[in-house]
């Protein structure tokens, strides 16, 4: 059996969560939804970095696992003792952004680049921690070789072989 393919995408800068779409009514009376700029910019940066990492690979069509580690900036306003405790992992980042919203942003950013559709993500491991270098590290791992789109027994046998 072949080893699963693994890609690591590092997105520099402070982690950002997926914001709710904003809805506005235009001058013509039509309703328009948009992703807030901060989320859209982070997703664009993540997508560009993923394209660089995936340069020679097509988006996988196999089931994948996603591992996300968000390194949050340590507030400069904190006293040295508290910054040190955060750096040592004694203080955990319990503020915004929410971890599940960071996962949503990452899944949306990697759609069509690392995988064909984010429905292929069958497992997620995620954590936030403080770090001297704010960034998000995403690891994409193929965790199977048979997608649920398999349509018949002979195709299944072929994929197993």
CB 103 within 8 Å of CB 53: no
Place of tokens 């429905």: 119
pLDDT at 100: 95
Per-residue pLDDT for the chain (161 aa), expressed as one digit of tens each?
467 899 999 999 999 988 776 777 877 888 877 777 888 899 999 999 999 999 989 999 899 999 999 999 999 999 999 999 999 999 999 999 999 999 999 999 999 999 999 999 999 999 999 998 999 999 999 998 777 777 788 877 777 77
CA angle, 56 as apex, 53 and 60 as ends, to 5°?
A: 80
CA distances 111 to 23, 89, 130, 133, Å, are: 23, 32, 27, 26
pLDDT at 159: 74
pLDDT at 141: 96
Report pTM: 0.84
CA-only gyration radius of the chain, Å: 19
- Domains of the chain as residue ranges with CATH: 6-160 (3.30.1330.70)
pLDDT at 66: 97
pLDDT at 78: 96
Cα distance between residue 43 and residue 108, in whole Å:
7
Q: Spell out the long-range contacts of 147-154 with Cβ–Cβ below 8 A and sequence spacing 24 or more.
A: 147/61, 147/62, 147/63, 147/120, 148/63, 149/61
pLDDT at 67: 98
CB 63 within 8 Å of CB 147: yes
CB 107 within 8 Å of CB 66: yes
Cα distance between residue 93 and residue 73, in whole Å:
9
């Amino acid at each position: 059996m072949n080893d699963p393919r693994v890609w690591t995408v590092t997105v520099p800068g402070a982690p950002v969560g997926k914001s709710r779409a904003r809805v506005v009514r235009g001058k013509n009376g039509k309703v328009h939804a948009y992703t807030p700029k901060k989320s859209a910019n982070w997703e664009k940066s993540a997508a560009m970095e993923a394209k660089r990492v995936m340069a020679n690979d097509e988006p996988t069509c196999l089931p994948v696992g996603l591992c996300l580690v968000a390194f949050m900036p340590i507030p400069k306003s904190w006293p040295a003792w508290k910054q040190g405790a955060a750096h040592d992992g004694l203080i955990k980042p319990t503020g915004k952004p929410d971890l599940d919203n960071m996962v949503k942003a990452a899944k949306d950013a990697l759609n069509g680049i690392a995988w064909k559709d984010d429905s292929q993500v069958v497992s997620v491991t995620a954590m936030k921690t403080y770090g001297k270098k704010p960034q998000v590290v995403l690891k994409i791992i193929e965790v199977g070789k048979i997608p649920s789109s398999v349509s018949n027994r002979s195709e299944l046998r072929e994929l197993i072989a």
